[in-house]
Amino acid sequence: MSAANYLLSDPSIVLYWKVKDPEKGLAIGSKAFGMPKTGPSDFVYTGTVPKDDLVRALHTDKYTSPSEHPNVSSERAHYEIVTAYGPVGVPPGMEVPMDGSIISTGAICFLPTSRGSVTLKSLDPQADPIIDPNFLATEHDWAILRSAMRTSMRVMNTDAAKELVEGQFQFPGYNIDINSTDEALNKRIMPFSSTWYHPAGTAAMGSVVDSECRVKGVKALRVVDASVLPHPLAAHYQGKSSNSCGHIDCMADTTTTSCYLCHRRARCRHDCGISLIVTQIFS
């Protein structure tokens, strides 16, 4: 695959939960529900998959030195779980009531190793390209989603959660619980996985553009958007792309601190006067 059509993107999976008392206003659809300032989601958790599980998955994916892979050689944030006050990302054809009785936990695989492609369909510049995200092409990515699902189920199985949550809202034929096997979780992921829309990598820095975002071999042309990210980030990409002041290390800097909940503005450390709107940054 050439560098120009190397596409990375984030697979995700959502689990749904029945609240004990819809009248309490915990979820959208209940008359008592009041939208929090943060919007319809809250309680964001960033998790790390047990190293052995990922090393095993990387071995299956035929990496020669799995334990040296950057996703396991140091502690990384492999996934994020967002709790939403309602049924989000309901798969096509499935019905999950929006009547105040359901909340959800959406899990995003942050550091996928699967790579897709963007290629031309024809020489007609007006023709849409062929976009193939090639989600879940590696065992590594499946292992991350399974781990995130298990974390969601473990949390919802705690005494504190059980005070509010009656149990999981299951899809018939795809029941899972905390003791489910990898195969059962895979079966639940397979038809119902989706994405939280963080495509990147198609004009990757180092191959398509240089470290100043200049397109290699072309004069006076820069790319300044998420496509220059050469590797997946443990983050939502709006903060990495729309906040760019033109200093590429602003986009690439995963240590910028900001508050996800209040979306407060940070300032570019180049002090060039441009405000950054950083929605969410995890290292």
Ligand X SMILES: Cc1cc2nc3c(=O)[nH]c(=O)nc-3n(C[C@H](O)[C@H](O)[C@H](O)COP(=O)(O)OP(=O)(O)OC[C@H]3O[C@@H](n4cnc5c(N)ncnc54)[C@H](O)[C@@H]3O)c2cc1C
* Residues with catalytic function: 198
Compute how many residues bind ligand X; rule: CB under 6 A: 12
Q: How far is the CB of 75 from ligand X (least distance, A)?
A: 23
**Toward ligand X, which CB reaches closer, 135 or 237?**
237
Among 162, 197, 264, 267, binds ligand X (CB under 6 A): 197
Under rule CB under 6 A, residue 237 binds ligand X: yes
Q: Looking at 74-82, 166-174, 225-233, 267-275, which segment touches ligand X (CB under 6 A)?
A: 225-233
What minimum distance in Å lies between the beta carbon of 40 and ligand X? 11
Binding residue for ligand X, selected from 239, 243, 248, 268, defined by CB under 6 A: 239
Contacts of 133 (CB under 8 A, 6+ apart): 7, 9, 116, 195, 199
Residue 195 CB, shortest distance to ligand X, in Å, is 9
Nearer to ligand X, 150 or 198 (CB): 198
Q: Which is nearer to ligand X, 10 or 141 (CB)?
A: 10
By C-beta, is 152 or 280 nearer to ligand X?
280
Q: What is the DSSP string of the chain?
A: --GGG-BB--EEEEEEEEES-GGG--STTSTT----TT-SEEEEEEE---HHHHHHHHHHTT-SSGGGSHHHHS----EEEEEESS--SPPTT-----SSSEEEEEEEESS----BEEE-SSS-TTSPPEEE--TT-SHHHHHHHHHHHHHHHHHHTSHHHHTTEEEEEPPTT----TT--HHHHHHHHHHH-EE----B-TT-BTTTB-TT-BBTTSTT-B--SGGG-SS--SB-THHHHTT--S-HHHHH-TT----TTTT-EEE-TT-SS-EEE---B--
Q: Should residue 280 be labelled a site residue for ligand X when binding is judged by CB under 6 A?
A: yes
Is 241 a residue that touches ligand X (CB under 6 A)? yes
Identified binder of ligand X from the candidate list 8, 80, 198, 245, rule CB under 6 A: 198
* Shortest distance in whole angstroms from residue 148 CB to ligand X: 18
Residues 138-177, mask of contacts with ligand X (x by CB under 6 A): ----------------------------------------
